[in-house]
Amino acid sequence: MEKRINTALISVYYKDGLDNIAKALNRLGVKIYSTGGTQRYIEELGIPVTAVEELTSYPSILGGRVKTLHPKVFGGILGRRNSAEDCREMKQYDIPAIDLVVVDLYPFEDTVAGGASHEDVIEKIDIGGVSLIRAAAKNFADTLVIATRDDYEGLLRILTENNGKTDRTTRMRYAAKAFSITSHYDTRIFQYFNEEVRLPVFTYSEHNAMILRYGENPHQQGTFFGNLNEIFDVLGGKELSYNNLVDIDSAVQLVGEFTEPTVAIIKHTNSCGLASRGEIAEAYQAALACDPTSAFGGIIAVNRPVDTATADLMNSLFFEALIAPAFDPKALETLRSKKNRILLRWKKQVTVPVSFKSVLNGVLVQSADLNTEKRDTFKVVTNKRPTEAELSDLEFAIVAVKHLKSNGIALAKNKQLIGSNSGQTSRVDALQYAITRAKTHGFDLRGAVMASDAFFPFPDCVNISAAAGITAIAQPGGSIRDQESIDAANAAGIAMVFTGVRHFRH
């Protein structure tokens, strides 16, 4: 059933765009109630407005904390027009029906993000606004609610094109959005408090939604919730897919751990190429050499600007996406020669402190794996100590294996991933396949190092490494059979360090 707007309550923090709304309401002869700064703003437009204090016969008190929390306001919003009893009581207590509520909320999130004091943050917790929005949304059968300036354009169309009339479907849609806004607002407030209180409650809310072509496979639906514009500028290419986003996340998390010029090539979330060099073009060539076959159709991430020389080298390879902090103009022109190639300018590294995934009928939540072990925390457990070159390669290999699916093995030499394997049910198989891949791509394993994401329950991996020519190993340690692996390394003349940190990744 269509209902016409005859009365409106307006109280907003953000005034931009409100002038057109107020003027349209005035043209329709709508009676406007308002408060404080919003009331003054509308009066300055020369539009008649009635103060809420005049309606309630009660002033704004407690520094503005209480001004709309009154039966004459909420009765007008919540009163059911099809209820004879509600209408009788509204008439008895002189409560006018309110058909439109335009209210937004104090900028709590922006205040927290701006580093404000705790006292200032608390003052930006909106009480009246949330209550008004929820009341209007609850009574959507009779009341239209506009809870964000983003919906002013839609409201303006209702006022100008439909003479201020709305149907139930329209009002319910805006009510649903209003509840999503108040829910999100309360979630952010709870998360702020819970940083200190630490209640075991899982909450997550994100309004920015990007509908994807499909999910992991074409028969699955997919949506990304988040604001990619905070992290990337899209400079070219096709629409990002679900799998693109998963791999891009893996790529930037991996390459973001390096300070030297580094290139990572990712396929199905695992690195098939990784190298650090003095120049980014050299790093790209070394990363590609790790596994040129698997690099086809992959995701490339670099931590230095892409120059013309690097772009020329990359351009001959088919890859889905390239992420870099900057692109030379000529490099960008070259890379744009493939119209579907996704090019992203990487504006900032994002470290998410918590990760979660849906399992069974619930959600698993854990702190993110932000540990990266360096030489000063290594525990040398063998007679032979790693050389400086081996220590550098071990640090490199540990980062590489940390980002592989378990069971993971990374082989490195001269800060280049020369062999790797991931997702194996057997660590021995992972190592053997990593060695095979290294040999297949022409690498000499003599003097290489190996890193494992978890400890060795038996000495077999040490023996296999020694036979392949590997001279240094990094592993977490912690097995009841650690000594057997140490003895095997000593017998083979291999250096081995324990990091004390496992990096399972499932």
User: Which residues form the catalytic set?
Assistant: 138, 268
Cβ neighbors of 506 (< 8 A, separation 6 or more) are: 405, 406
Among 415, 386, 333, which Cα is nearest to 498's?
Answer: 386
Per DSSP, the residues of 136-191 read HHHTTTT-EEE-SGGGHHHHHHHHHHSTTEE-HHHHHHHHHHHHHHHHHHHHHHHH
- Which residues are paired to 64 by β-bridges? none
- Give the C-alpha separation, 505 to 496, whole Å: 23
Burial of residue 408, with CB atoms counted within 10 A of its CB: 0-12 exposed, 13-18 middle, 19 or more buried? buried
- Give the C-alpha separation, 427 to 436, whole Å: 14
Backbone angles phi, psi at 405, to 5 degrees: -70, 145
- Give the C-alpha separation, 12 to 129, whole Å: 8
- Cis omega (within 30 of 0) on the bond before 407? yes
CA angle (370 as vertex; 368, 373 as ends), nearest 5: 145
- Element holding 75 (H helix, E strand): helix 71-78
- Give the C-alpha separation, 107 to 358, whole Å: 31
Residue 115 burial (CB count, 10 A): 8
Among 454, 369, 460, 446, which Cα is nearest to 411's?
Answer: 446
Q: Are 142 and 3 in contact (CB under 8 A)?
A: yes
CA angle (104 as vertex; 129, 152 as ends), nearest 5: 145
